[in-house]
Amino acid sequence: MKRKPRIIRYTSPAGGWGSMKSLAEILLRERIPLDGAKILMAQNKPDGFACVSCAWPKPAKPHAFEYCENGAKATAWEITSRRTTPEFFAKHTVDALRRWSDYDLEQQGRLTQPMRWDAATDKYLPVSWQSAFEEIGRELRAMQPDETVWYSSGRASLETSFIYALAARLYGTNNLPDSSNMCHESTSVGLTQSIGVPVGTTTLEDMEKTDCIIFFGQNPGSNSPRALHPLQDAHRRGVPIITFNPIREPGLLSFTNPQSPTEMLVTSPTPISTQYHQVRLGGDIAAVMGISKALIAADDAARNSGRVGLLDHGFIAEQTDGFDAFAEAARKISWQTLEARSGLSRNAMEATAAVYGRAQKTMVVYGMGITQHREGVEGVQMLVNLLLLRGNIGKIGAGICPVRGHSNVQGQRTMGISEKPELVPLDKYAERYGFEPPRNAGLNTVEACEAIIAGKIKAFLMLGGNFVRAVPEREAMEAAWSGMRLTVNVATKLNRSHLVHGEISYLLPCLGRIEKDRQATGDQAVSVEDSTACVHGSRGVRPPASAHLLSEPKIVAEIAKAALDPNPRIDWDAWVGDYALIRTEISAIYPDFENMETRMWEPGGFYRAIPARQRIWNTDTKRAHFIDPQSLAEDPDMPEKGTDVLMMMTMRSNDQFNTTIYGYNDRFRGIKGTRMVVLMNGNDIARLDLVDGETVGLATVADDRTREMTGFRVTAYDIPDGCVGAYYPEANALIPLWHHAEGSKVPAAKSIPVRVFKLDGSGGRVRAA
Ligand X SMILES: Nc1nc2c(c(=O)[nH]1)N[C@H]1C(S)=C(S)[C@@H](COP(=O)(O)OP(=O)(O)OC[C@H]3O[C@@H](n4cnc5c(=O)[nH]c(N)nc54)[C@H](O)[C@@H]3O)O[C@H]1N2
Q: Which residues form the interface with ligand X (CB under 6 A)?
A: 53-54, 70, 106, 153, 155, 179, 182-183, 216-219, 222-224, 244-247, 249, 279, 281-282, 284, 367-369, 372, 403, 405-406, 463-467, 470, 490-493, 495, 510, 512-513, 552, 649-652, 656-660, 728-729, 732, 735, 749-750
**How far is the C-alpha of 27 from the C-alpha of 663, rounded, in Å?**
13
Pairing of strands 518-519, 522-523: antiparallel
User: Between residues 178 and 558, which has the closer beta carbon with respect to Mo ion?
Assistant: 178
Nearest of 321, 252, 345 to residue 627 by alpha carbon: 321
How many residues bind to Mo ion according to rule CB under 5 A? 2
534, 607 Cβ separation under 8 angstroms: yes
Helix (H) or strand (E) holding 263: helix 261-266
Beta-carbon contacts of 347 under 8 Å, excluding residues fewer than 6 positions away, are none
Least gap, CB of 220 to Mo ion (angstroms) = 14
Applying CB under 5 A, the span of 76-84, 176-184, 208-216, 242-250 interacting with Mo ion comes to: 176-184
Min separation Cβ 417 and ligand X, Å: 13
442 phi/psi in degrees, rounded to 5: -90, -175
The three state secondary structure string of 690-722 is CCCCCEEEEEECCCCCCCEEEEEEEEECCCCCC
Closest by Cα among 463, 371, 411 to 175 = 463
Say whether 730 sits in a helix, a strand or coil.
Answer: helix
CB of 469 to Mo ion, least distance (A): 13
Question: How does DSSP assign 439-483, residue by residue?
Answer: -S----HHHHHHHHHTT---EEEEESS-HHHHSS-HHHHHHHHTT
672 has which bridge partners?
6
CA distance 380 to 631: 13
Nearer to ligand X, 215 or 429 (CB): 215
- DSSP 8-state class, residue 213: E
- Write down the least CB distance from residue 218 to Mo ion, Å: 11
Distance of closest approach, residue 693 Cβ to ligand X, in angstroms: 22
30 interface partner picked from ligand X, Mo ion, none, CB below 5 to 8 A per type: none
Cβ burial 469-498 (10 Å sphere, 16+ → b, else e): bbbbbbebbbebbeebbbbbbbbbbbbbbb
Closest CA to 556 of 166, 216, 217, 109: 166
First to last CA, the chain: 39
Q: Which is nearer to Mo ion, 316 or 449 (CB)?
A: 449
Tell me the closest approach of the beta carbon of residue 409 to Mo ion, in angstroms.
6
Burial classification of residue 706, based on how many CB atoms lie within 10 Å of its CB (0-12 exposed, 13-18 middle, 19 or more buried): exposed
Beta carbon nearer to Mo ion, 388 or 446: 446
155 binds, among ligand X, Mo ion, none (CB under 5 to 8 A by kind): ligand X
Q: How many angstroms separate the Cα of 266 from the Cα of each of 233, 263, 308, 760?
A: 17, 5, 46, 51
Binding partner of residue 245 among ligand X, Mo ion, none, CB cut-off 5 to 8 Å per kind: ligand X
Nearest residue (CB) to ligand X, 194 versus 551: 551
For ligand X, give the closer residue by CB, 113 or 245: 245
Query: Which of residues 343 and 402 has its CB atom nearest to Mo ion in the complex?
Result: 402
Task: Tell me which amino acid residue 493 is.
Answer: K
Residue 2 CB, shortest distance to ligand X, in Å, is 20
429 binds, among Mo ion, ligand X, none (CB under 5 to 8 A by kind): none
Taking CB under 5 A as the binding criterion, the range among 80-88, 210-218, 375-383, 397-405 that sits at the site for Mo ion is 397-405
The least CB distance from residue 651 to ligand X, in Å, is: 6
Nearest alpha carbon to residue 219 among 361, 367, 108, 351? 367
The minimum distance between CB 223 and ligand X, in angstroms, equals: 3
- Which residue, 19 or 658, is less far from Mo ion as judged by CB? 658
With CB under 5 to 8 Å by kind, the binding choice for 749 among ligand X, Mo ion, none is ligand X
Among 151, 132, 60, 156, residue whose Cα is nearest residue 582: 156
For 518-611, strand residue ranges (E) read 518-519, 522-523, 525-529, 534-539, 606-607
Give CA–CA dist 490/509, Å, rounded: 6
493 binds, among Mo ion, ligand X, none (CB under 5 to 8 A by kind): ligand X
User: Which lies closer to Mo ion via its Cβ, residue 404 or residue 554?
Assistant: 404
Only one of the segments 56-64, 180-188, 245-253, 627-635 lies at the binding site for Mo ion (rule: CB under 5 A); that segment is: 180-188
Taking the complex as a whole, how short is the minimal distance between the CB of residue 177 and ligand X, in angstroms?
A: 10
> What is the number of alpha carbons within 13 Å of residue 427 lying toward its C-beta?
1
CB of 211 to Mo ion, least distance (A): 30
The span of 228-236, 398-406, 448-456, 620-628 binding Mo ion (CB under 5 A) equals 398-406
Binding partner of residue 292 among ligand X, Mo ion, none, CB cut-off 5 to 8 Å per kind = none
Query: From Mo ion, ligand X, none, which one binds at residue 645 (CB under 5 to 8 Å depending on kind)?
Result: none
Nearest to 525 by CA among 537, 515, 534, 536: 537
> Which entry of ligand X, Mo ion, none binds 53, CB below 5 to 8 A by partner kind?
ligand X
Contact between 405 and Mo ion by CB under 5 A: the answer reads: yes
C-alpha distances in Å from residue 83, one per residue of 28, 87, 89, 326: 16, 10, 11, 57
Q: How far apart are CA 401 and CA 224, in angstroms?
A: 13
Cβ distance to Mo ion smaller for residue 257 or 445: 445
Residue 84 interacts with, from ligand X, Mo ion, none (CB under 5-8 Å by kind): none
Query: Minimum distance between the CB of residue 588 and ligand X, rounded to whole angstroms?
Result: 26
Among the listed ranges 2-10, 402-410, 481-489, 537-545, the one in contact with Mo ion (CB under 5 A) is 402-410
Shortest Å distance, C-beta 600 to Mo ion? 23
* Residue 259 contacts residue 71 (beta carbons within 8 Å): no
Rounded CA-CA distance 177/155 in Å is 14
CB nearer ligand X, residue 59 or residue 464: 464
Which range of residues in 161-169, 183-191, 683-691, 718-726 is near Mo ion by CB under 5 A? 183-191
3-state SS of the chain: helix, strand, coil percent to 5? Answer: 40, 20, 40
Selected binder of Mo ion within 97, 127, 183, 417 (CB under 5 A): 183
Q: For ligand X, give the closer residue by CB, 187 or 256.
A: 187
**Looking at beta carbons only, is 54 or 560 nearer to Mo ion?**
54
Q: Are 630 and 378 in contact (CB under 8 A)?
A: yes
Q: What are phi and psi of 111, to 5 degrees?
A: -70, 145
In terms of DSSP bridges, do strands 362-366 and 399-402 run parallel, antiparallel, or are they unpaired? Answer: parallel
Instruction: Provide, rounded to whole angstroms, the least separation between the CB of residue 280 and ligand X.
Output: 7
Q: Which does 508 bind (CB under 5 to 8 A by kind): Mo ion, ligand X, none?
A: none
User: Quick check: 100 and 534 in contact, CB under 8 A?
Assistant: no
- Output the smallest distance, CB 554 to ligand X, in A: 12
User: Residue 342: which of ligand X, Mo ion, none does it interact with, CB under 5 to 8 A by kind?
Assistant: none
The reply on whether position 747 binds Mo ion by CB under 5 A is no
Please say which residue, 298 or 351, places its beta carbon nearer to ligand X.
351
Backbone angles phi, psi at 503, to 5 degrees: -60, -40
Instruction: Select from ligand X, Mo ion, none the partner in contact with residue 356, using the beta carbon and a kind-dependent cut-off of 5 to 8 Å.
Output: none
Residue 457 Cβ vs ligand X, minimum distance, rounded to whole Å: 16
Instruction: Please say which residue, 353 or 401, places its beta carbon nearer to Mo ion.
Output: 401
In angstroms, how far apart are the furthest CA atoms of the chain? 85
In the complex, the smallest distance separating the C-beta of residue 536 from ligand X, rounded to whole angstroms, is 16
Instruction: Pick the stretch among 178-186, 351-359, 479-487, 545-553 that binds Mo ion (CB under 5 A).
Output: 178-186
| Closer residue to ligand X (CB): 273 or 320 | 273
Give residues in contact with Mo ion (CB under 5 A).
183, 405
